[in-house]
């Protein structure tokens, strides 16, 4: 399950970013995962729970935003979903497309610090 190595990298990067901002703990990490990224969102969420233990993200929640894969057809100036498994044939002009516009994303988009404890 390669999602565990991805989750570990997310925890490490989020922890590093939180430390750079002077935050002691993280409450939420948001990631964008493209439909063609080869990552199973449920497996990533489970792996995140394992990877976060013993870190500044121990109580953090992972929010996965799924990104639909879209291709662009130059001849008819149309963007269309490619589906899963991907089909890069334009449904409007019946020509193949080589221009993938979205769907391969795998990125951290937000890291929310944990609220400070009340004095």
- Domain segments of the chain: what residues? 1-68+103-119, 70-101
Residue 119 has pLDDT above 70, yes or no: no
Q: Which class is 1-68+103-119 in CATH? A: alpha beta
On the CB side of 82, how many CA atoms lie within 13 Å of its CA? 25
DSSP secondary structure string, 45-108? HHHHHHHTTTSTTTT-EEEEEEE--EEEETTTTEEEE-TTTT--B-TTT--B--EEEES--EEE
DSSP-assigned beta bridge partners for residue 56? none
Proportion of the chain above pLDDT 90, given as a percent: 82
pLDDT, greater one: 119 or 38: 38
Residue 1 has pLDDT above 70, yes or no: no
- For residues 48-70, give the mean pLDDT: 95
Q: What is the pLDDT of residues 9-52, one digit of tens each?
A: 999 999 998 888 888 789 999 999 999 999 999 999 999 999 99
């Amino acid at each position: 399950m390669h999602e565990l190595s991805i989750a570990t990298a997310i925890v490490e990067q989020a922890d590093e970013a939180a430390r750079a901002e002077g935050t002691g703990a993280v409450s939420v990490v948001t990631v964008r995962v493209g439909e063609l990224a080869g990552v199973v969102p449920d497996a990533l969420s489970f792996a995140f729970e394992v990877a976060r233990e013993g870190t500044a993200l121990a109580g953090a929640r992972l929010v996965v935003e799924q990104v639909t894969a879209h291709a662009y057809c130059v001849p008819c100036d149309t963007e269309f979903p490619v589906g899963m498994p991907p089909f890069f044939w334009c449904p409007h002009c019946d020509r193949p497309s080589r221009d993938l516009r979205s769907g391969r994303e795998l990125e951290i988009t937000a890291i929310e610090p944990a609220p400070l404890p009340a004095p």
